[in-house]
Amino acid sequence: MSRFFAGGSSDSDTSSSDEELYSDSEEERSEQEGSSENDSEDDSDMGSDDDDSSSEDDGPEGFLKPGAKAGASRFLRGEESDESDEDESKRIVKSAKDKRLEEIDTIIRTIENAKKINDWVLISNEFDKLNKIVSKGGQQSETPRMYIKAIADLEDFMGETIKTEKESKKKMNATNGRALNSIKQRIRKNNRTYEDQIAKYRADPEAFEKEPEATPEPVAAPKRKSAAVEAAAAANAAIAAGDAVDEGEFSTIGRGGRTVAITPESIFKQLRAILEARGKKNTDRAEQIRSMDKMLGVAATVYQRIRVLLVLISTRFDLTTASASYMPIAQWKAAQEEISKLLETLEANPQYAVTEDAEEIDDEESEAEPVPKDGEPVKIFGSIASLIERLDDEFTRSLQNIDPHTPEYIDRLKEEAPLYATAVRAQLYFERLSHASSISRVLMRRLEMLYYKPEQLIKFIEQTTWTEALPSGLESKITPYNGKEQPSELMHSICTVLYKQDNRLYRTRAMLCEVYHHALHNRYFHARDLLLMSHLQATIHTADISTQILYNRTLVQVGLCAFREGMISEAQQALQEISGTGRVKELLAQGVQMQRYGAPASPEQERIERQRQIPFHQHINLELLECVYLTASMLLEIPFMAQCGSAPDAKKRVISKPFRRMLDYHERQVFTGPPENTRDHIMQASKALASGDWARAKELIRAIKIWELMPETEQIKDMLSEKIQEEGLRTYLFTYAPFYETLAISQLAGMFDVSERKATALVSKMISSNEVAAALDQKTNAIVFTAGVEYSRLQNLALALSDKAVQLLDSYKYR
């Protein structure tokens, strides 16, 4: 309230033309709008916010504050945003406005003159010019009264001319006639926009012109004052009307202090007006919403209710301006509730159906509402699937923008349950209509709300949905609920429906979601088989970016799953593609990567990237990911490095580049302190492993704290210890084989604390695959290394050369 006056009367505030401050205030406003339902508390808040500026001028504020505040605030809030918009324009184009009015004046005069000589060509031109000017200014301010007067007069004159034209046989000349015809159309169309004002003018031209308006006084401040007076008057009127509201006959205060009564009969008309105003810049949506809220209370028939709800929900979504980062939460909640209400209405009244293939209703022709004929439900145009999608999108957007480390985020997250319930409800509705494409749209949303969740959570959300959120008696064919079914069954039944869709996007995403789900629950083989069967890796680069992100997430999850299951090389392979690139954040859409090369991204790109971000609660822990990747790389790379030894192409054969780079970096350091972070741990463990000190490597790896994030930490640690023992043994053999003639198995087994049987098996494997030149002696139970198999450099090169020659020959293509 106070801010409203402050902004108006003091030009000291004009610093708001400054970009930054402007956007600030804008945000603030959107916040206010969001919370417009609960007032007084908010009000005082606002007051304190603007304390300093309001203290500068207490004139009008002091005048209003004491009495009218509570009542007025309620009705003025809506105006506020518009009026302050006006401030903006007025401040900037103060003189321009005068100029504009002058221009209008001249044009009107020209039209008057043209009328006298019946020159419709001139009138037509001037009329266009007039409209252009008015609409240019009209976006920011009210239409000047003289314009209304002019167009009203013009319409009258036109009517007369046409009449006389018909009566007198004499034709006017061709160009003039054509101009008349064309302007006839345009005037009708144009005047419809200003219908009520024209009506008012027609009713009492004198009073209309006398009404106070901004025009006479070009200075802004007095205008403000008059606006304030007007507002005060309106407030009084509103208080007076307060009783009437209770009686069900609601009156709302329009822009010019008009009173609009809402009755069941006028609902359609009102709705039409709202729909027509949609997309225009200075429509007051908050105001519309409030009036529709009332309409909902007034609506007499089911049909009306449905219609009002449809418009109301979409208007709520319109409320989000492009500059605001996400839909106000209160609005979102209201929208969610209204969609539920809409679905409830539709459930209770199966004779009505909201479908996308219904004809667009044109109330203009028939004010009468359609009555359900026998058996055939009345079809109403609307798309519940889109509403659900929009609701979900807005939910995601809000999560993207709320700081995940605040309680707000958690509060917001709690609202996923009602959202999920609404989606399920919509699905049931579409199942009843057997509307396949909409079912799949809703199912897709449902699936995407579920796939990243662990089983317990899915169970929980299903349970709350079916037992609490949904009325009993609803049943689903696709996803029946009996309280006992397994989450993976649910996932599968959803996916099965989606696999049958023609739309490839649904199939791909459903497939990825199912794979992700399997991987999350340690069903590695299921996940892998499904992923391989989909042949996605061949086509994924042609998919849209969000699907690619989902693919990356799935791949990473499969890798983590393999790791948990102890399949190190599979894990490494799966993770290689993502973790090996060094652009993990970007690929998983979990934060914007620092730009290393070239120019930083343009703001446009940055915005798009931000939109793609995955909400925090769905993130895959990046540190854990790195840790897993590096550990897996270590277990593969260290023995491999030892095996390559001094081979000439040892440098070229690399399993994991990032790992090598880090290891190099680590080795270059002059002094290495005790390990601090995960990476240090792994690097030092790698060094220990390479030198045969498996016990230290094991200790270091086990000391990594982030393993705690994995379920069944101890098992994973044990698995890792075992792997370290094995790989340590192999590394040892690779590294120190040249120094032994024979080596007893028992010695080796003791050294690495494994059973002799296992040691034998490991050694046998190495011998069989020609990794070491040795053989076992059963009598003495020892490994006998074959001497003289270490090739000289020349011999190695000769072998390499012969290989290359064969390759070269193989690459020749016979055509």
Partner 1 sequence: MAAGNSFDLVPRILPYLDRLLIFALLEHASEQKLYSEDVLLQAKFDLMKDTNMADYVTTLHKKISGSDAEVSEYVERREKVLEKLAAFEKESAELLQVLRNPDVVAALRPDRAQNIAYLKENHNISPDSIEVLYHYGQFQYNCGNYSEAADLLFHYRTLASDADLVMSATWGKLACEIMTLQWDNAAEELLKLREQIDAKTFSDPLVQLNHRAWLLHWALFFFFNADAGREKLTELFLTPAYINAIQTATPWILRYVTVAVLASRAARKTTGGASRAASYATYQKQIRELVRVIRQERYEYSDPVTEFVYALYVDFDFEEAQAKLSESADVVRSDLFLVASADVFLESARHLVSELYCQIHQRIDIKDLSARLNLSDEEGEKWIVNLIRDTRVDAKIDFSEGTVIMNHPPQSVYQQVIERTKGLSFRTSQVLAHMLTARNATAAVVGESEA
The binding site for partner 1 (CB under 8 A) comprises: 525, 533, 757, 760-762, 764-765, 767-768, 773, 775-780, 784, 786, 788-789, 791, 795, 798-799, 802-803, 805-806, 809, 812, 814-815
**Minimum distance between the CB of residue 793 and partner 1, rounded to whole angstroms?**
12
| 3-state SS, residue 351 | coil
Q: Which residues contact 110 (CB under 8 A, 6 or more apart)?
A: 122, 126
Give the alpha-carbon dihedral of 662, 666, 672, 676, to 10 degrees.
0
Q: Which residues contact 768 (CB under 8 A, 6 or more apart)?
A: none
Judged by beta carbon, residue 256 or residue 738, the one nearer partner 1 is 738
Judged by beta carbon, residue 94 or residue 793, the one nearer partner 1 is 793
| 3-state SS, residue 783 | strand
Judged by beta carbon, residue 406 or residue 780, the one nearer partner 1 is 780
**Minimum distance between the CB of residue 752 and partner 1, rounded to whole angstroms?**
17
Q: Per DSSP, what are the bridge partners of residue 251?
A: 261
**Minimum distance between the CB of residue 324 and partner 1, rounded to whole angstroms?**
49
- Residue pair 147/130 in contact (Cβ under 8 Å)? The answer is yes
Q: Is 691 exposed, middle or buried (0-12, 13-18, 19+ CB in 10 A)?
A: middle
Q: Is 233 exposed, middle or buried (0-12, 13-18, 19+ CB in 10 A)?
A: middle
Least Cα distance to 447 among 386, 516, 355 occurs for 516
**Minimum distance between the CB of residue 535 and partner 1, rounded to whole angstroms?**
11
**Minimum distance between the CB of residue 719 and partner 1, rounded to whole angstroms?**
17
What values do phi and psi take at 752, rounded to 5?
-110, 10
Judged by beta carbon, residue 709 or residue 789, the one nearer partner 1 is 789
Judged by beta carbon, residue 366 or residue 764, the one nearer partner 1 is 764
**Minimum distance between the CB of residue 639 and partner 1, rounded to whole angstroms?**
17
Judged by beta carbon, residue 13 or residue 726, the one nearer partner 1 is 726
Judged by beta carbon, residue 245 or residue 799, the one nearer partner 1 is 799
**Minimum distance between the CB of residue 635 and partner 1, rounded to whole angstroms?**
18
Element (H, E) at 262: strand 259-262
Q: For 533-571, give one letter per residue: b (16+ CB within 10 A) or e.
A: ebebeeebeebeeebbbbbbbbbbbbbbbbbbbbbbebb
Please spell the DSSP secondary structure of 493-523, one letter per residue: HHHHHHHT-S-HHHHHHHHHHHHHHHHHTT-
Number of other residues whose CB lies within 10 A of the CB of residue 84 = 17
**Minimum distance between the CB of residue 498 and partner 1, rounded to whole angstroms?**
18
Q: In whole angstroms, what is the distance from residue 259 CA to residue 262 CA? A: 10
**Minimum distance between the CB of residue 796 and partner 1, rounded to whole angstroms?**
9
Judged by beta carbon, residue 713 or residue 795, the one nearer partner 1 is 795
**Minimum distance between the CB of residue 801 and partner 1, rounded to whole angstroms?**
8
- Residue pair 749/759 in contact (Cβ under 8 Å)? The answer is yes
**Minimum distance between the CB of residue 791 and partner 1, rounded to whole angstroms?**
6
**Minimum distance between the CB of residue 642 and partner 1, rounded to whole angstroms?**
20
Judged by beta carbon, residue 70 or residue 532, the one nearer partner 1 is 532
Least Cα distance to 491 among 539, 540, 538, 457 occurs for 457
Judged by beta carbon, residue 146 or residue 767, the one nearer partner 1 is 767
SS (H, E, C) 122-146: HHHHHHHHHHHHHHHHHCCCCCCHH
Using the structure block, give the residue that is written with the tokens 């209204």.
338
Judged by beta carbon, residue 672 or residue 802, the one nearer partner 1 is 802
**Minimum distance between the CB of residue 652 and partner 1, rounded to whole angstroms?**
20
Judged by beta carbon, residue 670 or residue 808, the one nearer partner 1 is 808
Q: Give how far the C-alpha of residue 510 lies from the chain's centroid of Cα atoms, to the nearest Å.
A: 19
What values do phi and psi take at 392, rounded to 5?
-65, -45
The structure tokens listed for 391 are 């609701």
Task: Give whole-number Cα distances, 583 to 539, 579, 647, in Å.
Answer: 21, 7, 32
The amino acid present at 116, given as its one-letter code, is: K
Judged by beta carbon, residue 669 or residue 792, the one nearer partner 1 is 792
Q: Per DSSP, what are the bridge partners of residue 775?
A: 784
Ranges of H-type helices in 278-415: 285-298, 302-318, 329-348, 384-401, 407-414
**Minimum distance between the CB of residue 707 and partner 1, rounded to whole angstroms?**
25
Judged by beta carbon, residue 384 or residue 772, the one nearer partner 1 is 772
